[in-house]
Amino acid sequence: MKALITGSAGLIGSEAAKFFAKKGFEIIGIDNNMRRYFFGEEASTDWNRQKLEEQLKGSYTHYAADIRDNDAISKIFKKHKFDLIIHTAAQPSHDWAAREPFTDFTINANGTLVMLENMRQYCPEAVFIFTSTNKVYGDTPNSLPLVELEKRWELPKNHKYYRGIDESMSIDNSKHSIFGASKVAADTMVQEYGKYFNFKTAVFRGGCLTGPSHSGAELHGFLAYLIKCIASGKKYTIFGYKGKQVRDNIHSHDLVNAFYHFYLNPRSGEVYNMGGSRRSNISMIEAIDKIEKLLNKKANYELSEENRAGDHIWYISDVSKFKQHYPRWDFEYDIQAILDEMCAAVRK
């Protein structure tokens, strides 16, 4: 069995490479470290690629190809016949996307089309899994009747979305951010290749994806970057909402395990909201409190009154559709276990 993983040196890509290698797959990884270009040297994934190549000797082959380059990608598809494609490579920041919309769109939308079309040409029986984002819903979640509590914004318990936002929320008539719009294009194309061509494709609309392999940066990777700042004493800026904005966080292992369950029993053109749900969510202020205790250090942070354009005040994923389709899957991590592991990693 062969698996192609794009963004293989990133958080989800590297987790997927290790997970599926343990399942007996030969892993072909594509990653050209664009994260360094986006966010600077501190966000480079070279360290993770080297670690991956050391850990998976004999079962991992790396290509530093650009997913926008159809000729380069086609050569890889011609050389290998894939049973599974996990497409995680992306420009991941909605702030950064506004700086270079062409770069953002060609990576997120065109790059995804390159991957889909090569699958159609060379391995149409493969399972194709795409990591989308909750930003496809734009700022619609901000119209929910949120209540301000001491350390977080929250929904009333009797609200239909209290358990989390499901796939029924509209993606129309909202401010997505440039990043969100490029991911919408990719998201719907992955669905279409499933529905139109009857291919085995799935879209996972992630909340905050996290874990100790995350190369966190100011513009992407909230928990990883926050922990890095508190550990080093670097100032951290919280943008808007009094620091009470809520995010659900899912550990990279739990997400990749969900990919595996889909691979075992694939469907065509499915969409799943996938995040920490009610099991694993936290506000910025709550996260700072917990990390300070775990690292025994005070955070150096400031509150900016200006929020990021299109940013969510409150977002928790309802994962019940996926659990209904795949009842044997469940979380292994909650928010405390995630923070314990990530803080332990920076103490080493």
Ordered mean pLDDT values, 10 residues apiece, the chain (348 residues) = 97 96 98 94 90 95 98 98 98 92 98 98 98 96 98 97 98 95 98 98 95 70 87 93 96 97 98 97 96 96 88 96 98 96 88
**pLDDT tens string 10-47:** 999 999 999 999 999 999 999 999 999 998 988 899 99
Q: What sections of 56-129 are H helices per DSSP?
A: 70-79, 94-97, 101-105, 111-122
| Domains of the chain and CATH, by start | 2-347 (3.40.50.720)
CA dist., res. 124 & res. 327, Å (int): 27
pLDDT at 85: 98
> Based on C-alpha coordinates, what's the Rg of the chain?
19
CA dist., res. 76 & res. 89, Å (int): 16
Alpha-carbon dihedral angle through residues 302, 307, 313, 317, given to the nearest 10 degrees: -100
Residue 4 bridge partners (DSSP): 28, 85
pLDDT at 224: 86
Q: What is the DSSP letter of 315?
A: E
> The tokens of 36 are what?
């360094």
**pLDDT tens string 186-219:** 999 999 999 999 999 999 999 899 987 776 666 6
> The tokens of 247 are what?
């995010």
Please give the C-alpha separations between residue 62 and each of 31, 53, 323, in angstroms, as whole numbers: 8, 8, 33
- Contacts made by residues 74-78, CB under 8 angstroms, sequence distance 24+: 74/118, 74/121, 74/122, 76/4, 76/28, 76/30, 77/118, 77/119, 77/121, 77/122, 77/123, 78/122
Which stretches of the chain are assigned E, i.e. beta strand?
Answer: 2-6, 26-30, 60-63, 84-87, 127-133, 147-148, 153-154, 200-206, 208-210, 236-239, 246-251, 270-274, 281-283, 301-304, 314-315
**Cβ–Cβ < 8 Å for 115, 6:** yes
